[in-house]
Amino acid sequence: MYPELRDSGVIVTNPSGIFSVPMAEHTMGMLIALARNFPDSVRYQDRAHWSQQDLWDNYPLTELNGKLLLIVGFGSIGHELARRAKAFDMRVWGVSRSGKGDATLAEKIVPIAQLREVLPHADYVVISAPETPETRHLIGAPELALMKPSARLVNVARGSLLDHSALIAALQQKKLAGAAFDVTDPEPLPADHPLWRAPNLFLTPHTSAISDRLWPRQTALLLDLLESWFNGRELFNLVNLHRGY
């Protein structure tokens, strides 16, 4: 959000909401994949190896029900994820900038200032917050150290929100059970980047928002905004130019 745009007086809207459903479904897939260790199952399949004991020896296969999911960034994506997680009987806590959100979808919603207080309780942590100067390396070595050794971390926001070096160290030292990313920093991820070889890490190439239904949703949103503009109605999805999203 560069200064010239902030000072221009131009009204800016965003496509908030159109990516929420596919991203929530993608994230649920990642949670299931981590709990049931699908990535290693596929790797062993490629080697024609019957891996039942190997999978159990790596990290015991577990279930999602009853586990605490902490959603860091409890906006439209977080809300859609919470709906699906509750269908799996997961407990849901949310973290938002203000500490507000749909209380029917979460047992507890706390402001970002209390992130470190809630991290030790989580079995799964999902990062779905916006990228701003304040959220850079939102999860770093101090935050990772607060998480359970059995916890899993998922990032579907932006790569810059996570300190990758700290995450790799936590995985290598088995201070974290696993992680799944749909975003990295940089993108595309260079072939020699250590993330490719980090243990118990599942990567998808920034595909969580991609869907065959994306363009119809985006078209409908644009038409609604244009009709509101030409009819003098209040616009929605307005970008706060100073906050950056």
- Tell me the pLDDT of the chain (245 aa) as tens digits: 788 998 998 999 999 999 999 999 999 999 999 999 999 999 999 999 999 999 998 888 999 999 999 999 999 999 999 999 999 999 999 999 999 999 999 999 999 999 999 999 999 999 999 998 889 999 999 999 999 999 999 999 999 999 999 999 999 999 999 999 999 999 999 999 999 999 999 999 999 999 999 999 999 999 999 999 999 999 999 999 888 88
187 is catalytic: yes
What gap in Å lies between CA 238 and CA 218, rounded to an integer?
Answer: 15
Q: What is the DSSP code (8-state) at residue 13?
A: B
Backbone angles phi, psi at 236, to 5 degrees: -115, 175
pLDDT score, position 130: 92
Domain with CATH 3.40.50.720 in the chain: 20-208
pLDDT score, position 154: 98
Q: Which entry of 79, 97, 158, 164 is annotated as an active-site residue?
A: 158
Burial (CB < 10 A; 0-12, 13-18, 19+), residue 57, is: exposed
pLDDT score, position 245: 82
107 is catalytic: no
pLDDT score, position 195: 97
Q: Which entry of 83, 136, 137, 206 is annotated as an active-site residue?
A: 206
pLDDT score, position 51: 95
pLDDT score, position 59: 81
26 within 8 A of 156, measured Cβ to Cβ: yes
pLDDT score, position 135: 94
Backbone angles phi, psi at 34, to 5 degrees: -70, -45
Q: Which entry of 63, 187, 213, 227 is annotated as an active-site residue?
A: 187
pLDDT score, position 1: 75
Q: What is the fold of 20-208?
A: Rossmann fold (3.40.50)
pTM recorded for the entire structure: 0.93
Structure tokens at 143: 């935050």
4 is catalytic: no
pLDDT score, position 68: 98
**Residues whose CB is less than 8 angstroms from the CB of residue 228 and which lie 6 or more positions away in sequence, other chains included:** 234, 235, 236
